[in-house]
Amino acid sequence: MNEKTCKALLGYGISTRLIKKIASTHHTLGSLRESGNELLRADFTEEEIEELKAKLQRNEIPAETIDRILNASDGVCCVCADGNTSRPYQLHHIRPYSETQDNSSDNIALVCPTHHVAIHGNKPSVESQKLVRNQWYKIATLAKDYQQKGIPFPFDLLEAVDYGSRASPRELVQLGPLSPSTATLSYPPELADKALSLLKSDFFALVFGDSGSGKSTFALAIGGISVERGVNVFGLRFGKQRNDTLQQLLVLFFTCV
């Protein structure tokens, strides 16, 4: 199967696992559409035939959109988010295609078959799906910098911080940590600017104080202002116990500087 046909099948939402199976048969894109179920049963299961018949009736996702998604995701499921490029994947419509016919890159996420089934079963919100996808895009971009320098990337250690939610003044009077967006608005800009100036000149800024004094909130505020200036911000994954955390953070520092 040539690359054009493979990309066309991917553009109909067919998984790479099924595309690989199609490549091992005599079928072309045209024969898949025109053949009756009886003929297709020689090569495919009933479930696969149902998938082919349903998805080949769609409008094809443009090749340039597919290229954009493959590049942004690095061919990795945005839910797995682990850098595994050997896993099968397919293009998932965040807002259902049956409702929108929206084949734009904003409405599509690259996911593995397992998570594709889970998404349709659990029906997470559009906003949460886009958040997961966009966070993976940021991690994938950073990971490529590592790859270009031949350094393994610690996928289990870092996560992109989300500043896309709306700030809520209610959080300021509630017990508990502030969201990144609310934290960004909770500090005077001049304090954040001072910290950013230190980071720009020395690549290091020490924030210290008693427990509950607002160190984490201040760090989130600095990050939020940085995001407004076009910088991606990452945080440590809580609960991840690694003996080499400090070493990985130093590698991250010297890789990105």
- Segment 79-92, tens digit of pLDDT: 999 999 999 999 99
Dihedral angle at the C-alpha atoms of 87, 79, 145, 246, nearest 10 degrees?
Answer: -110
Q: Is residue 238 part of a domain?
A: no
User: Using alpha carbons only, how large is the chain's radius of gyration in Å?
Assistant: 22
- Which residue is associated with the tokens 């991250």? 252
Is the model's pLDDT at 238 over the cut of 70? no
Q: Is residue 34 part of a domain?
A: yes
Q: Is residue 250 part of a domain?
A: no
**pLDDT for position 254:** 60
pLDDT > 90 in the chain, percent = 45
**pLDDT for position 159:** 82
What is the distance between the alpha carbons of residues 147 and 93, in angstroms, rounded to a whole number?
29
Q: Which of 29, 55, 81 is the last residue of a domain?
A: 55
Is the model's pLDDT at 35 over the cut of 80? yes
227 contacts 163 by C-beta, under 8 angstroms: yes
**pLDDT for position 239:** 58
Is the model's pLDDT at 108 over the cut of 90? yes
| Residue 104 DSSP code | S
What is the distance between the alpha carbons of residues 221 and 102, in angstroms, rounded to a whole number?
35
Instruction: Indicate the pLDDT class of residue 253, thresholds 50, 70 and 90.
Output: low
What is the distance between the alpha carbons of residues 10 and 27, in angstroms, rounded to a whole number?
15
Q: Which of 55, 72, 90 is the last residue of a domain?
A: 55
* Range of the structural domain that residue 208 is part of: 162-232
Q: Is residue 207 part of a domain?
A: yes
Query: Number of structural domains, the chain?
Result: 2
Instruction: Indicate the pLDDT class of residue 255, thresholds 50, 70 and 90.
Output: low
184 contacts 167 by C-beta, under 8 angstroms: yes
Q: Is residue 64 part of a domain?
A: no
Q: Is residue 105 part of a domain?
A: no
What is the distance between the alpha carbons of residues 18 and 71, in angstroms, rounded to a whole number?
21
**Average pLDDT value over all residues in the chain:** 86
Q: Is residue 201 part of a domain?
A: yes
Query: What is the per-residue pLDDT across 130-152, written as a single tens digit (0 to 9) for each?
Result: 999 999 999 999 899 888 888 88
Q: Is residue 193 part of a domain?
A: yes
Looking at per-residue pLDDT, the higher value among 243 and 160 belongs to: 160
Mean per-residue pLDDT, 176-192: 79
**pLDDT for position 71:** 96
